[in-house]
Protein backbone atom coordinates (compact mmCIF):
# COMPACT_ATOMS: atom_id res chain seq x y z
CA UNK A 1 0.00 0.00 0.00
CA UNK A 2 2.87 2.37 0.80
CA UNK A 3 4.28 1.73 -2.65
CA UNK A 4 1.05 2.83 -4.29
CA UNK A 5 0.87 6.00 -2.21
CA UNK A 6 4.52 6.75 -2.94
CA UNK A 7 3.90 6.20 -6.64
CA UNK A 8 0.93 8.57 -6.55
CA UNK A 9 2.93 11.28 -4.78
CA UNK A 10 5.89 10.88 -7.13
CA UNK A 11 3.53 10.91 -10.09
CA UNK A 12 2.11 14.25 -8.98
CA UNK A 13 5.64 15.59 -8.58
CA UNK A 14 6.60 14.46 -12.07
CA UNK A 15 3.45 15.99 -13.50
CA UNK A 16 4.43 19.30 -11.93
CA UNK A 17 7.92 19.09 -13.36
CA UNK A 18 6.57 18.24 -16.79
CA UNK A 19 4.24 21.22 -16.71
CA UNK A 20 7.07 23.58 -15.83
CA UNK A 21 9.13 22.24 -18.73
CA UNK A 22 6.29 22.44 -21.24
CA UNK A 23 6.27 25.12 -23.88
CA UNK A 24 2.59 25.22 -24.86
CA UNK A 25 1.97 25.62 -28.55
CA UNK A 26 -1.37 26.22 -30.22
CA UNK A 27 -3.06 22.98 -31.02
CA UNK A 28 -4.01 21.99 -34.51
CA UNK A 29 -7.35 20.47 -35.42
CA UNK A 30 -7.92 17.03 -33.95
CA UNK A 31 -7.62 14.12 -36.36
CA UNK A 32 -10.69 12.23 -37.48
CA UNK A 33 -11.83 9.27 -35.45
CA UNK A 34 -10.93 7.03 -38.39
CA UNK A 35 -7.33 8.24 -38.22
CA UNK A 36 -7.31 7.74 -34.46
CA UNK A 37 -8.69 4.22 -34.80
CA UNK A 38 -6.12 3.36 -37.46
CA UNK A 39 -3.30 4.61 -35.26
CA UNK A 40 -4.58 2.65 -32.27
CA UNK A 41 -5.01 -0.61 -34.16
CA UNK A 42 -1.62 -0.56 -35.86
CA UNK A 43 0.72 -3.20 -34.48
CA UNK A 44 3.87 -1.47 -35.74
CA UNK A 45 4.38 2.27 -35.34
CA UNK A 46 3.14 4.08 -38.41
CA UNK A 47 5.14 6.77 -40.12
CA UNK A 48 4.79 10.18 -38.51
CA UNK A 49 2.39 12.05 -40.77
CA UNK A 50 0.92 14.60 -38.36
CA UNK A 51 1.37 18.34 -38.24
CA UNK A 52 3.00 18.91 -34.84
CA UNK A 53 6.74 19.06 -34.33
CA UNK A 54 8.48 17.79 -31.19
CA UNK A 55 7.72 20.93 -29.16
CA UNK A 56 4.06 20.91 -30.16
CA UNK A 57 3.66 17.21 -29.49
CA UNK A 58 5.36 17.49 -26.10
CA UNK A 59 3.15 20.46 -25.23
CA UNK A 60 0.04 18.43 -26.12
CA UNK A 61 1.34 15.45 -24.11
CA UNK A 62 2.08 17.63 -21.08
CA UNK A 63 -1.29 19.36 -21.37
CA UNK A 64 -2.96 15.93 -21.33
CA UNK A 65 -1.27 15.18 -18.01
CA UNK A 66 -3.13 18.10 -16.40
CA UNK A 67 -6.38 17.77 -18.30
CA UNK A 68 -9.44 16.23 -16.67
CA UNK A 69 -8.84 13.07 -18.73
CA UNK A 70 -5.21 12.88 -17.68
CA UNK A 71 -5.90 13.49 -14.01
CA UNK A 72 -8.89 11.12 -13.95
CA UNK A 73 -6.63 8.05 -13.82
CA UNK A 74 -4.73 9.45 -10.86
CA UNK A 75 -7.98 10.53 -9.21
CA UNK A 76 -9.59 7.11 -9.62
CA UNK A 77 -6.43 5.47 -8.31
CA UNK A 78 -6.45 7.72 -5.25
CA UNK A 79 -10.13 7.02 -4.59
CA UNK A 80 -9.60 3.27 -4.80
CA UNK A 81 -6.61 3.35 -2.48
CA UNK A 82 -8.26 5.73 -0.03
CA UNK A 83 -11.46 3.71 0.09
CA UNK A 84 -9.57 0.42 0.32
CA UNK A 85 -7.99 1.59 3.56
CA UNK A 86 -11.37 1.86 5.26
CA UNK A 87 -14.20 0.46 3.16
CA UNK A 88 -13.63 -2.24 0.56
CA UNK A 89 -17.16 -1.86 -0.83
CA UNK A 90 -16.56 1.83 -1.60
CA UNK A 91 -13.26 0.96 -3.24
CA UNK A 92 -14.97 -1.57 -5.51
CA UNK A 93 -17.44 1.14 -6.60
CA UNK A 94 -14.49 3.15 -7.97
CA UNK A 95 -13.06 0.36 -10.15
CA UNK A 96 -15.31 1.06 -13.19
CA UNK A 97 -14.24 4.71 -13.02
CA UNK A 98 -10.60 3.63 -13.27
CA UNK A 99 -11.30 1.56 -16.39
CA UNK A 100 -13.19 4.45 -17.98
CA UNK A 101 -10.43 6.92 -17.09
CA UNK A 102 -7.76 4.69 -18.61
CA UNK A 103 -9.74 4.37 -21.85
CA UNK A 104 -10.29 8.14 -22.09
CA UNK A 105 -6.58 8.76 -21.49
CA UNK A 106 -5.71 6.20 -24.17
CA UNK A 107 -8.06 7.87 -26.65
CA UNK A 108 -6.36 11.23 -26.08
CA UNK A 109 -2.92 9.63 -26.59
CA UNK A 110 -4.17 8.21 -29.89
CA UNK A 111 -5.05 11.75 -31.01
CA UNK A 112 -1.64 13.10 -29.99
CA UNK A 113 0.11 10.21 -31.74
CA UNK A 114 -1.88 10.76 -34.93
CA UNK A 115 -0.96 14.45 -34.99
CA UNK A 116 2.81 14.21 -34.48
CA UNK A 117 5.28 14.77 -37.29
CA UNK A 118 8.24 13.63 -35.17
CA UNK A 119 9.19 9.99 -35.88
CA UNK A 120 10.91 9.45 -32.51
CA UNK A 121 7.90 10.76 -30.60
CA UNK A 122 5.54 8.74 -32.81
CA UNK A 123 7.37 5.55 -31.84
CA UNK A 124 7.40 6.58 -28.17
CA UNK A 125 3.69 7.40 -28.22
CA UNK A 126 2.91 4.05 -29.84
CA UNK A 127 4.91 2.27 -27.11
CA UNK A 128 3.10 4.28 -24.44
CA UNK A 129 -0.24 3.47 -26.06
CA UNK A 130 0.60 -0.22 -25.79
CA UNK A 131 1.48 0.26 -22.10
CA UNK A 132 -1.79 2.11 -21.41
CA UNK A 133 -3.78 -0.55 -23.28
CA UNK A 134 -2.05 -3.29 -21.26
CA UNK A 135 -2.88 -1.43 -18.04
CA UNK A 136 -6.51 -1.16 -19.08
CA UNK A 137 -6.59 -4.85 -19.96
CA UNK A 138 -5.05 -5.74 -16.59
CA UNK A 139 -7.73 -3.72 -14.79
CA UNK A 140 -10.45 -5.41 -16.86
CA UNK A 141 -8.91 -8.85 -16.26
CA UNK A 142 -9.01 -8.22 -12.50
CA UNK A 143 -12.79 -8.45 -12.90
CA UNK A 144 -13.53 -6.24 -9.90
CA UNK A 145 -11.19 -8.11 -7.54
CA UNK A 146 -9.82 -5.34 -5.34
CA UNK A 147 -6.63 -7.22 -4.47
CA UNK A 148 -5.83 -7.73 -8.16
CA UNK A 149 -6.59 -4.07 -8.88
CA UNK A 150 -4.18 -3.03 -6.12
CA UNK A 151 -1.54 -5.33 -7.68
CA UNK A 152 -2.06 -3.58 -11.04
CA UNK A 153 -1.80 -0.17 -9.37
CA UNK A 154 1.43 -1.19 -7.63
CA UNK A 155 2.96 -2.49 -10.86
CA UNK A 156 4.37 -0.42 -13.71
CA UNK A 157 1.31 -1.11 -15.89
CA UNK A 158 -0.18 2.33 -15.18
CA UNK A 159 3.06 4.24 -14.59
CA UNK A 160 2.41 6.76 -17.38
CA UNK A 161 4.89 9.38 -16.15
CA UNK A 162 7.92 7.19 -16.81
CA UNK A 163 6.91 6.14 -20.32
CA UNK A 164 9.04 6.81 -23.39
CA UNK A 165 7.14 9.95 -24.39
CA UNK A 166 7.59 11.54 -20.97
CA UNK A 167 11.33 10.81 -21.05
CA UNK A 168 11.72 12.39 -24.50
CA UNK A 169 9.64 15.43 -23.60
CA UNK A 170 11.56 15.99 -20.35
CA UNK A 171 14.95 15.86 -22.11
Domain span at 154: 2-22+51-170
Residue 90 belongs to a domain: yes
Q: How far apart are CA 5 and CA 77, in angstroms?
A: 10
Q: How far apart are CA 138 and CA 99, in angstroms?
A: 10
Residue 52 φ/ψ, nearest 5 degrees:
-95, 135
Reduce the DSSP state of residue 78 to 3 states and report it: helix
Residue 45 belongs to a domain: no
The answer to whether residues 74 and 11 touch, using CB atoms and an 8 Å cutoff, is yes
Q: pTM for this one?
A: 0.69
Give the model's pLDDT for residue 171.
Answer: 79
Residue 151 belongs to a domain: yes
Residue 85 belongs to a domain: yes
Give the model's pLDDT for residue 18.
Answer: 42
Residue count of the chain: 171
Reduce the DSSP state of residue 35 to 3 states and report it: helix
Residue 41 belongs to a domain: no
Residue 42 belongs to a domain: no
Structural domain total, the chain: 1
How confident is the chain (171 residues) per 10-residue block, as mean pLDDT? Answer: 42 41 41 42 58 94 92 89 82 90 95 95 95 93 90 84 89 79
The answer to whether residues 140 and 159 touch, using CB atoms and an 8 Å cutoff, is no
Q: How far apart are CA 10 and CA 65, in angstroms?
A: 14
Amino acid sequence: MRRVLTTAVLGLSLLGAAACAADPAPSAAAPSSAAASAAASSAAPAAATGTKDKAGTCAAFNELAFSPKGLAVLGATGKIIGAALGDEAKAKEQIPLLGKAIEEYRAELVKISADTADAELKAALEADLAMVAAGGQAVAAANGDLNKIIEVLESTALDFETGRTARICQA
